[in-house]
């Protein structure tokens, strides 16, 4: 018997002899089983068995994004996401992608303000391959001058492409600077060209060693798995990765808006006038966040929402309407974007939006409308864990936000318990004084 076989046998005996309750925490009261375990190096591991399909989805989520960048280094988190596919100690450049695709699997990654997520779905018998690939780049990413320069050029080209295809990009970024006054929250995730050109190899290495560490990560595995055997594989590939230094979260310095801010942005690229409207609201950790999400659905979600019916269906004064609650770690905002065919229609659209917001301050939402909004929210909420991959991402994000899974069985109930009278109070609290309005005028 070789050394590897001996180690595997010893590991198997340990895990079969230790009682299951000593290995981790089983969460109850949710539509699917979840099992939470923390390695000695701080890596949070969430497993969820589902034998419907012979597949498994794996997510590695790091609690880092553009919020953790320093002034002058905008784009560093997004750049590092790209570099995670450029090779590690035992995996060549872009080999991670080819390995997954050869199994018939799919993969991708995403970086936003407060997290970076890598995910893949493969046949369940390829789980060990995915864990090896993810552990190798967590442990030993190869960062060189040539790789960093190539990634920088690719990112700059992407920024130019975004500017070419989105005539409202510049105005959108300016709106964020008005809504979120501090650098951490108001600069774009994909960075700024001047900053990207000035990023050094040393900057990338420091960012990687600071944040791409097991105690700043969550590993979720969902699908056709056996909990004990899967945990053995996780231990095998990740337990030897050293724990990193403790991370201090970014300080939130954005003041609560106490007045109305109205600005105009001249746009030579856009063919139609537009406006942005934004309100700072309660963060997700606040009890006020639950009625705020329902308000979002009453106003903006679906063709039966108040703003869609008034601006698009009935009065036909808007060419396009978008809006949602946006969350950037401890801060959140409700943002609305409207495009109209001309300035007259735009002014009418602006008045109509403000009129609908004011109605919610003075009149109760009917039971039928409230039920409709809640049902739509519930459907979207449940769709967050409709597939193996959706569920893996959903669990990873819950762990990043709450550091546990205690909220899973009660979260949806809190949204469903929101009442009409509660909505009026919330509207007066967050939609009274603080407001940002940015009008996009054509040059």
Task: Give the helix ranges, DSSP H, for 245-366.
Answer: 289-299, 306-307, 343-362
Distance CA 324, CA 330 (A): 17
Q: What are the residues whose beta carbons fall under 8 Å from the beta carbon of 7, sequence distance 6 or more?
A: none
**What are the beta bridge partners of residue 218?**
44, 61
Over its length of 443 residues, how does the chain's per-residue pLDDT go in tens digits? 444 333 333 333 333 323 333 345 554 456 788 999 999 999 999 999 999 999 999 999 999 999 999 999 999 999 999 999 999 999 999 999 999 999 999 999 999 999 999 999 999 999 999 999 999 999 999 999 999 999 999 999 999 999 999 999 999 999 999 998 888 899 999 999 999 999 999 999 999 999 999 999 999 999 999 999 999 999 999 999 999 999 887 776 666 777 899 999 998 888 999 999 999 998 888 999 999 999 999 999 999 999 999 999 999 999 999 999 999 888 899 999 999 999 999 999 999 999 999 999 999 999 999 999 999 999 999 999 999 999 999 999 999 988 888 888 888 999 999 999 999 999 999 998 789 999 999 97
Location of structure tokens 């318990």 = 417
Name all domains of the chain by residue range, CATH numbers in brackets.
17-238 (3.30.830.10), 260-442 (3.30.830.10)
> Rounded CA gap, 57 and 394, in Å?
12
CA distance 187 to 203: 18
Q: Which of 53, 43, 47 is nearest to 32 (CA)?
A: 47
Taking the C-alpha atoms of residue 5 and residue 364, their distance in angstroms, rounded to an integer, is: 68
User: What does the alpha-carbon distance between residue 395 and residue 44 come to, in Å, rounded to a whole number?
Assistant: 11
Residue 173 sits at φ, ψ, to 5 deg, of -70, -35
CB contact at 8 A, 93 and 209: no
Gap between the Cα atoms of 234 and 188, Å rounded? 34
Please give the backbone phi and psi of residue 177, each rounded to the nearest 5 degrees, phi first: -65, -30
DSSP state of 318: -
Q: How far apart, in whole angstroms, are the C-alpha atoms of residue 48 and residue 53?
A: 13
Please answer whether residues 89 and 154 qualify as being in contact, where contact means their C-beta atoms are separated by less than 8 angstroms.
Answer: no
**Strand order across the 217-223 sheet:** 25-27, 34-38, 44-49, 217-223, 55-62, 116-123, 106-111
pTM of the model: 0.88
User: What's the distance, CA 438 to chain centroid?
Assistant: 25
User: Given phi > 0 = left and psi -120 to 50 = alpha, else beta, which region is 403?
Assistant: left
């Amino acid at each position: 018997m070789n050394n590897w076989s001996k180690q595997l046998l010893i590991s198997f005996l340990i895990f079969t002899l230790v009682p299951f309750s000593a290995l981790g925490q089983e969460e109850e009261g949710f539509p699917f089983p979840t099992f939470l375990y923390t390695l000695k190096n701080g890596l949070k591991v969430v497993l969820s068995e589902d034998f419907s399909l012979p597949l498994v989805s794996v997510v590695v989520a790091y609690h880092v994004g553009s919020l953790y960048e320093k002034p002058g280094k905008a784009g560093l988190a997004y750049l590092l996401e790209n570099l995670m596919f450029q090779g590690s100690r035992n995996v060549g450049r872009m080999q991670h992608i080819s390995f997954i695709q050869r199994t018939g699997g799919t993969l991708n990654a995403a970086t936003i303000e407060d997290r970076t997520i890598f995910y893949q779905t493969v046949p369940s018998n390829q789980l060990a391959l995915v864990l090896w690939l993810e552990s190798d780049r967590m442990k030993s990413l190869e960062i060189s001058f040539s790789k960093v320069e190539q990634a920088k050029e690719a990112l700059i080209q992407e920024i130019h492409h975004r500017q070419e295809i989105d005539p409202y990009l510049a105005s959108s970024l300016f709106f964020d600077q008005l809504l979120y006054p501090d650098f951490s929250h108001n600069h774009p995730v994909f960075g700024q060209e001047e900053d990207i050109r000035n990023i050094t190899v040393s900057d990338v290495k420091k960012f990687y060693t600071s944040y791409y560490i097991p105690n700043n990560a969550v590993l979720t595995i969902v699908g056709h798995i056996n909990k004990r055997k899967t945990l053995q594989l996780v231990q095998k590939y990740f337990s030897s990765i050293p724990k990193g230094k403790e991370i201090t979260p970014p300080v939130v310095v954005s003041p609560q808006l106490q007045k109305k801010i109205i600005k105009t942005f001249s746009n030579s690229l856009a063919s139609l006038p537009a406006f942005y409207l934004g309100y700072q609201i309660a963060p997700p950790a606040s009890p006020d966040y639950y009625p705020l999400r329902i308000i979002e659905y009453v106003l903006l979600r679906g063709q039966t929402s108040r703003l869609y019916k008034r601006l698009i269906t009935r009065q036909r004064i808007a060419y396009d309407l978008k809006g949602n609650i946006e969350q950037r770690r401890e801060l959140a905002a409700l943002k609305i974007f409207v495009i109209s065919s001309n300035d007259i229609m735009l002014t009418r659209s602006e008045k109509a939006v403000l009129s609908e917001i004011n109605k919610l301050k003075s009149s109760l939402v009917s039971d039928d409308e409230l039920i409709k909004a809640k049902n739509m929210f519930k459907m979207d909420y449940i769709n967050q864990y409709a597939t193996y991959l959706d569920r893996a991402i959903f669990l990873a994000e819950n762990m990043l936000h709450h550091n546990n899974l205690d909220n899973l069985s009660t979260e949806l109930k809190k949204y469903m318990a929101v009442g009409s009278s509660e909505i009026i109070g919330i509207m007066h609290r967050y939609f009274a004084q603080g407001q940002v309005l940015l009008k996009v005028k054509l040059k």
